[in-house]
Structure 1
Amino acid sequence: MVLLLPDGEPHSHRRPSALTHARLLPLARALTHAARSDGLAAHVVRYRCRGWNEDDAHPVADAEWAVDEAVRRYGDVPLCLAGHGMGARAALRAGGHPSVTAVLALAPWLPADPSAAPEPVKHLVGRPVLLAHGTNDTRCDPASSLRLAERAKKANRDTCRFEVHSDGHGLRQHRSEVTALAADFVRGALFGHAYARPLTDALAAPPPLGLRMPLAVGFGESLGVGAP
Structure 2
Amino acid sequence: MTADLPGSSAGGEAALVLPASDTPPRAAVLVLHGGREDGLEPPPALNLPGARMVPFIRAIARAAAGHAVAVGTVRYRHRGWNGERDDPAHDALRALDELTALHGPLPVVLVGHSMGGRAALRAAAAPQVQAVVGLAPWCPDDEPVAHLAGTKVVVLHGDRDRITSPDASRAFTDRARRAGADACTLLLADGDHAMLRRAAAWHALTTGAVSGLLGLAPLPPVVAAALSGAPRPQRPAEDGAAQPLGSERHG
**TM-score, normalization by structure 1:** 0.86
Larger radius of gyration between Structure 1 and Structure 2: 2
Q: Distance in 1 between matches of 2:69 and 2:93?
A: 20
User: Is 1:24 matched up with 2:53?
Assistant: yes
Equivalent of 1:44 in 68, 73, 91: 73
Distance 1:106 1:202, change over 3 A: same
Equivalent of 2:129 in 100, 124, 129: 100
User: Is 1:9 matched up with 2:36?
Assistant: yes
Q: Distance in 1 between matches of 2:222 and 2:88?
A: 31
Structure 2: gaps (5+ residues) = 1-27, 243-251
Q: Distance in 1 between matches of 2:29 and 2:171?
A: 26
Equivalent of 1:156 in 167, 173, 180: 180
* Match in the other structure for 1:121: 145
Q: Which of structure 1's runs of 4+ aligned residues deviate more than 3 A?
A: 210-219
Secondary structure of the corresponding residue to residue 161 of structure 1: strand
Q: Distance in 1 between matches of 2:229 and 2:236?
A: 9
| Higher percent of residues as helix | 1
Equivalences for 1:148-227 in 2 at 5 Å?
148-191=172-215, 193-205=217-229, 209=232, 217=240
Structure 1: gaps (5+ residues) = 220-228
Distance 1:203 1:104, change over 3 A: same
What whole-Å deviation, never above 9, does each CA across 1:191-219 have from its counterpart, x for those lacking one? Answer: 36321221111111257x28977697578
* Match in the other structure for 2:165: 141
What whole-Å deviation, never above 9, does each CA across 1:17-54 have from its counterpart, x for those lacking one? Answer: 32222221221111010121312221121100101010
Q: Distance in 2 between matches of 1:165 and 1:46?
A: 31
| Higher percent of residues as strand | 2
Q: Distance in 1 between matches of 2:93 and 2:78?
A: 15
Equivalent of 2:113 in 84, 101, 104: 84
Higher relative contact order (CA 8 A, sep 6+): 1
Q: How many residues are paired up?
A: 213
Q: CA deviation at 1:76?
A: 2.1
Secondary structure of the corresponding residue to residue 121 of structure 2: helix
Contact (CA 8 Å) 2:189, 2:240: kept in 1 or not?
no
Contact (CA 8 Å) 1:21, 1:46: kept in 2 or not?
no
**TM-score, normalization by structure 2:** 0.78
What whole-Å deviation, never above 9, does each CA across 1:72-127 have from its counterpart, x for those lacking one? Answer: 1122222111100000000011111011111111001122xx5xxx1111211112
Q: CA deviation at 1:182?
A: 1.5
Identity of aligned residues (%): 36
